[in-house]
A and B are shown apart, each in its own frame.
Chain A
């Protein structure tokens, strides 16, 4: 099930958990030293290695044949990295229909296995990624050294080659002005916390990404445990902060007004939408107002520019998009 269509436990605070494994094949230079043909060869090798993988059905997508808009839509859904969407040369993607698994071929590394699930589910996501990892490793030789672990194109990913991240919606902590302190604290614990749709220092929609920073010298298990327990602490802090924030009539007024705009606007930009739904979803979670939370939450992704264009027709102008976006939201809140 696509992460953005499902609300897991603490669904309003934890939007998704993502685990990525970076792997390279021993027999090929890293992508930076590969031309288009070399990249295609690597992609073929991995496709072949996973051809009898039965756990999840994987579709092979040649990125060169995918339209720019469809590629950006995948990035909007967090299924591929933005960089992967913008340069398609020689690259390919293996993807499951339920959008849980995506394997980027010849991104920064030969292989980037990604699993993204709703809620706080770092263990399940890792196990799913590890199964694919094992299936590839049965057929192909990974670049690996005993000292440095899995060898990656960028030394920042050496060791486990694993980045696990939790997407968090933290409106009350933002209002409280606690983000800077939190970022500094988690940094000391080997994690990073930063705006997900970052625009300078402020994060649009109060959505943040908490992820492990160090990959060498720490096992996958320890890193995941660390991530999970710190995520839980931040969730608890956000809940406490919400209890304070919602006793403020000014703030309740803001939530009501946000819902009013979403219900009656004729045009909405995606940036506006993300900001307003952030308030409304929090209000719904705290039982101040009533809205279909899972539907509204998924709109944040489904109504992003490229994804909306993909659904409604590629020739939609920006103006028409904003009108359709507002219409779809009115339907959800109708």
Chain B
């Protein structure tokens, strides 16, 4: 059977999916299954596909012992549970297993930095937090652009020096 996505390679990943009570099957080759990720062809949120999800962790370098013994204190999940189910146990798991989850998150989303809405309480937290050098530079660059547009070249020059200083300090 050929992969339904590329129509070239032999399909090796077969996914059964139930929509409106009717089972359907999808067939992908290994590379398409990986690149499509779990979001590929299914009901926008129903992503109960532990098999394909765990392929994100395929070449996991962590030893089995480490994956099973190290548990989240809040919910009791170990990393192995997450691999097997494709489901993260609780909010704390994201902190505890952050470095292990990060590669797969990047493979799913491309980027791993949230943009968009922030809940109010957290909004306050974020505003009170010290900005990173990168963010400071981005802000200054915006300001410099504005100064240039206003033909305030003196101010633009001052800002440019400030950016330079920040970059050197980094």
Query: Which residue of B42, B74, B76, B126 is within 8 Å of A194 (Cβ)?
Result: B42
Residues of B within 8 A of A75 (CB): 20
The answer to whether A20 has its CB under 8 Å from any CB of chain B is yes
A167 → B minimal CB distance (Å): 11
Q: Which residue of A lies closest to B90 (CB)?
A: A29
B4 → A minimal CB distance (Å): 6
Contact A83 B46 (CB under 8 A): yes
Contact A153 B109 (CB under 8 A): no
Residues of B within 8 A of A157 (CB): 45, 47
Contact B114 A83 (CB under 8 A): no
Residues of A within 8 A of B95 (CB): 145
The answer to whether A275 has its CB under 8 Å from any CB of chain B is no
Query: Which residue of B4, B38, B74, B111 is within 8 Å of A201 (Cβ)?
Result: B4
| A 1-50 contacts with B by CB, 8 A | 20, 22, 24, 26, 28-30, 32-33
Inter-chain CA distance A24–B76, complex, in Å, is 18
B122 → A minimal CB distance (Å): 5
A-B contact count (CB 8 A): 171
Contact A108 B88 (CB under 8 A): no
Q: Which residue of A lies closest to B112 (CB)?
A: A216
Contact B39 A218 (CB under 8 A): no
Inter-chain CA distance A152–B22, complex, in Å, is 27
Contact A30 B89 (CB under 8 A): yes
Contact A197 B19 (CB under 8 A): yes
Inter-chain CA distance A15–B87, complex, in Å, is 32
Inter-chain CA distance A24–B114, complex, in Å, is 16
The answer to whether A146 has its CB under 8 Å from any CB of chain B is yes
Inter-chain CA distance A209–B39, complex, in Å, is 13
The answer to whether A322 has its CB under 8 Å from any CB of chain B is no
Residues of A within 8 A of B111 (CB): 216-218
Contact A156 B37 (CB under 8 A): yes
B88-125: CB near A (< 8 Å → 1, else 0) gives: 11110011000001001100111111111111111001
Contact residues of B: prevailing secondary structure = loop
Inter-chain CA distance A165–B44, complex, in Å, is 8
Inter-chain CA distance A222–B117, complex, in Å, is 12
A59 → B minimal CB distance (Å): 22
Q: Do A146 and B114 form a contact, CB below 8 Å, given A81-B46, A82-B43?
A: yes
B9 → A minimal CB distance (Å): 16
The answer to whether A60 has its CB under 8 Å from any CB of chain B is no
Q: Do A217 and B47 form a contact, CB below 8 Å, given A33-B77, A151-B91?
A: no
Inter-chain CA distance A150–B115, complex, in Å, is 10
The answer to whether A112 has its CB under 8 Å from any CB of chain B is yes
B13-43: CB near A (< 8 Å → 1, else 0) gives: 0000111111011100000000001111111
Q: Do A138 and B120 form a contact, CB below 8 Å, given A81-B45, A163-B44?
A: yes
Contact B40 A20 (CB under 8 A): no
Residues of A within 8 A of B4 (CB): 201
Inter-chain CA distance A82–B46, complex, in Å, is 8
Inter-chain CA distance A317–B170, complex, in Å, is 74
Residues of B within 8 A of A146 (CB): 114, 118, 122, 125-126, 129
Contact A198 B24 (CB under 8 A): yes
Contact A199 B44 (CB under 8 A): no
Q: Do A156 and B19 form a contact, CB below 8 Å, given A192-B41, A198-B24, A217-B115?
A: no
Q: Which residue of A lies closest to B23 (CB)?
A: A199
A215-228: CB near B (< 8 Å → 1, else 0) gives: 11111111000000
Contact B88 A153 (CB under 8 A): yes
Q: Do A32 and B85 form a contact, CB below 8 Å, given A144-B118, A217-B110, A219-B115?
A: yes
13 CB-based A-B contacts, threshold 8 Å: A30-B88, A30-B89, A33-B76, A137-B119, A145-B114, A146-B122, A148-B105, A192-B41, A197-B20, A198-B24, A214-B109, A216-B105, A222-B115
B interface list, Cβ under 8 A from A: 4, 17-22, 24-26, 37-48, 53, 74-77, 85-91, 94-95, 101, 104-105, 108-122, 125-126, 129
A interface list, Cβ under 8 A from B: 20, 22, 24, 26, 28-30, 32-33, 72, 75-76, 81-83, 107-108, 112, 130, 133-134, 137-138, 141-160, 162-163, 165, 192, 194, 197-201, 209, 211, 213-222, 304-305
Given A33-B89, A214-B108, 14 other A-B residues pairs in contact with their CB atoms under 8 A: A20-B44, A30-B91, A33-B90, A81-B45, A112-B45, A146-B118, A146-B126, A148-B112, A153-B87, A154-B47, A156-B37, A198-B19, A216-B108, A221-B116
